[in-house]
A and B are shown apart, each in its own frame.
Chain A
Amino acid sequence: MHSGSAKLIIETGDDKYIFHFSGLLRVGNLDQIETVLNAQEECLVQKEIILDFVEVDELDSAAVLLILSTMKKMQLQGCESTLSFDNEEFEQLFKMVEKHAHLDTSFTCIVPSFVEKIGKKASDRVKGLLQFLAFFGQLSMAMLLYLRSFRAIRWKEIVFEMNESGIKALGIISLTMFLVGIVIAYQSSVQLKIYGANIFIVDMLGISILRELAPMLTAIVVAGRSGSAYAAQIGVMKITEELDAMRTMGFDPYAFLVLPRVLALMLMMPILIFFADIMGVVGGMLIAHIELGLSPTLFLERFSNVIDIRHFWVGIVKGPFFAILIASIGVFRGLMVKNDTQSIGFNTTKSVVESIFIVIICDAIFSIFFTHMGI
């Protein structure tokens, strides 16, 4: 049934051309016929043309459309074309297709110019920023309203989210930070050995891990795990109209979806950082022992002597700030999803990229701030 092909033989006379079509004129085998017809129609001016379908076994609407549009072009060039069949069905098909055809329509969109693209991108960015600010304002308002009464807090959702994005992330964050501790200790031990300054590895590891590395890495892992999950989940809920359903039932999405996530992450982030601190230091301690012969007792004694508690607090304090950035960007990106599946992928990616970027900026601001404060 599908193994045949379509053929076109052109019989030329002085003023009369006969196009003999044969075989299966179906949409799958039209490409060659189309090329031949396009080449022919250029040079046919004021001729008499007969389109012969007597040998055709099968004809579909796509083929009929091709013939019709060719005939139309030929007519514009002063040709007179006639159709010839001995098949009632084909004639009917031609009539039917002709009735419904819209020749010369185009659905291709106009490709915007380079300048237009830049302008659109720029205005989209500005719009995006404004939308985020609006969202952040709404979030803050909701938070104030929500925290006004202790009883209104949805502990069940918060605890659920604390488990999802906090407890379940403990394993991966611990492992990551343990390995980072090892890497940092290993690299610095090589340098410190040269100067015989082995014991200073404690100062180095303590300050860098507690102040910077643990909060940053925790934030990055959480952004990748939970920020993206928030964006995807809320995005799909938007597409399936679940958000609208919630609104109509009087469930404020901010109270039910947004705030529990933000609050859960704000509560869990410091705890995650605390564990990351421990694991990072343990990793470093292991390498200090193996590479520099520093016993854990000596390491910990030095640690409690030289590492001020304020370094620990500096790291922990960053937690809630990072958490609010990650959670709000994740949720915001979810709400930005439009009614198609592609925008879920787009916004999920964006949520991770943007939240990591913002976390780094926020960290830089903290650095400057703490240094100025002399902490």
Chain B
Amino acid sequence: MMEPIITVRDVTTRFGTNHVHDKLSLTINQGEIYGLLGPSGCGKSTLMREMILLENFESGSITLLGRDINTISAFEAQELRKQWGVLFQSNALFTSLSVAENISIALKEYTSISQKLIDEIVAFKIDIVGLKQSDGKLYPSQLSGGMKKKAALARALAMDPKLLFLDEPTSGLDPISAREFDALIVNLKEMLQLSIIMVSHDLNSIKTTLDRMAVIDHKKIAAEGTLDEVMAVTSPFIQTFFTTYSKHLR
């Protein structure tokens, strides 16, 4: 159960003169919900984008599902991409396709199963993320913020990935929808045995959903571990981030 699914070793990232990561290392285990935390602009999204092959890093290595992404071939990379789902911070739904088409596009591209089975898979995905079946025919512009998140999550789950990346999944949602979404993520993890990596600022999400987490601060990992382990670390950022809210947390 506790085998690593992603290991990041000494990753250094620079955008021009902007030094973002300085020798970051962390380990994400199979079957856990892992959080990337830290102040805004500390490079959480960047680290996630590096894991999903959207961004290059200067030095270090990332091993994903047993493959070192520095040395994989284009073919292997393509195979990897089919094994994860990504929920972007801004949803990134295809605006000219309906929700059902957004979900089915990968199925149509990568499998040769019948349209009937595709529709059944789409209906199932729409149901598990908590949308109504009739929402399937709507276009992204006709959805509310929370529904868009759910539709994007359903699209991320389309190929039954074992690995799910979520970039600030609850930002922009009202507290009630945000809590529902947290519950949904935990539920999905249980139901589909996912490993989930998520970026979050939301203290409630952090408390209720995350199994383990890493706090990035000043280009480094300030702390890694469970919530209690992280809160035991004495770093100015962790103190201000957690202790001011600790009353509200407990």
Residues on A close to B: CB < 8 A?
A: 1-2, 26-28, 30-31, 34, 38, 60-62, 65-66, 69, 89, 93, 96-97, 100-109, 239, 338-343
Contacts and interface: CB of A to CB of B under 8 A. Distances in A.
A101 B124 contact: yes
A159 to B, nearest CB: 34
20 contacts: A27-B107, A27-B159, A28-B159, A30-B113, A31-B111, A34-B117, A61-B192, A65-B117, A100-B128, A101-B124, A102-B123, A102-B133, A105-B123, A106-B119, A107-B104, A108-B115, A109-B137, A340-B96, A341-B94, A341-B95
Interface in B176-197: 191-193
Contacts of B110: 28
Contact of B111 (A28, A61, A89): A28
Nearest to A239: B95
B160 A342 contact: no
Nearest to B137: A107
B79 A2 contact: yes
A30 B116 CA distance: 13
Interface in B103-134: 104, 107, 110-117, 119-124, 126-128, 133
Contact of B120 (A28, A69, A340, A341): A69
A27 B139 contact: no
Nearest to A338: B141
Nearest to B122: A107
Contacts of B193: 89
A340 B95 contact: yes
7 tightest Cβ-Cβ pairs between the two chains A and B? A339-B141, A107-B100, A342-B96, A340-B95, A102-B123, A60-B160, A31-B112
Of the candidates A26, A100, A101, A109, the one having the most CB atoms from chain B within 10 angstroms of its own CB is A100
Contacts of A2: 79, 82-83
B98 interface: yes
A62 B137 contact: no
A31 B116 CA distance: 12
Interface in B2-57: none
Nearest to B66: A1
B191 to A, nearest CB: 5
A341 B128 CA distance: 28
A343 B141 CA distance: 13
Contact of A105 (B79, B111, B113, B120): B120
Contacts of B123: 101-103, 105, 107
A38 B66 CA distance: 37
A342 B107 CA distance: 22
Given A101-B123, A105-B133, A69 B117 contact: yes
Contacts of B95: 239, 339-342
Of the candidates B113, B120, B124, the one having the most CB atoms from chain A within 10 angstroms of its own CB is B124
Contacts of A102: 120, 123-124, 126-127, 133
A323 B129 CA distance: 52
A113 to B, nearest CB: 20
A105 B119 contact: yes
Contacts of B137: 107, 109
Given A28-B110, A338-B141, A339-B139, A61 B115 contact: no
Contact of B96 (A34, A89, A341): A341
Given A28-B82, A105-B133, A339-B95, A97 B124 contact: yes
A65 B160 contact: no
B146 interface: no
A107 B98 contact: yes
Of the candidates A93, A108, A338, the one having the most CB atoms from chain B within 10 angstroms of its own CB is A108
B121 A108 contact: no
Nearest to B79: A2
A97 B137 CA distance: 22
A211 B127 CA distance: 67
A97 B98 CA distance: 23
Contacts of A96: 191
Of the candidates A38, A62, A109, the one having the most CB atoms from chain B within 10 angstroms of its own CB is A62
